[in-house]
Amino acid sequence: MNVVVEIVGEQHTVAEGTTFKVGHLNNEKGETLIIDKVMAVVGGGQSVFGKPYVEGARVEAKVVDHGRDRKITVFKYLPKKHMRVKKGHRQYYTLLRVEKIIIDKEQVEVKVEE
């Protein structure tokens, strides 16, 4: 079963056991997060889409690591003005692993594959 969650202003499609990067969170390494902004549940041949979120669905994720992404080059240039600026940037991120997808079957009508 896959779900689409919204966290830190981004949407991610996740399943149990997957890891994914999000923008930096102030949670400690090893801490468990409850993500209740589930936008869609897809599984068992059925799909449930929220308006904007699916009621009764949430995801438990564990903070695996914090780090910095690879360097990107930012180059600004104005022709005929002798303005050239070259900078590098490394974005901070938090690595999350999905532990459980919890669905309240009374509120969400979707068949769960076991």
3-state helix/strand/coil string of the chain:
CEEEEEECCEEEEECCCCEEEEECCCCCCCCEEEECCEEEEEECCEEEECCCCCCCEEEEEEEEEEEECCCEEEEEEECCCCEEEEEEECCEEEEEEEEEEEECCCCCCCCCCC
Task: Note if the pTM is more than 0.95.
Answer: no
Mean pLDDT across the chain: 92
Instruction: Read off the pLDDT of each residue in 91-99 and give the average, rounded to a whole number.
Output: 97
Domain-wise residue ranges, the chain: 2-67+93-103
The pLDDT tens digits of the residues spanning 7-63 come to 999 999 999 999 999 999 999 999 999 999 999 999 877 889 999 999 999 999 999
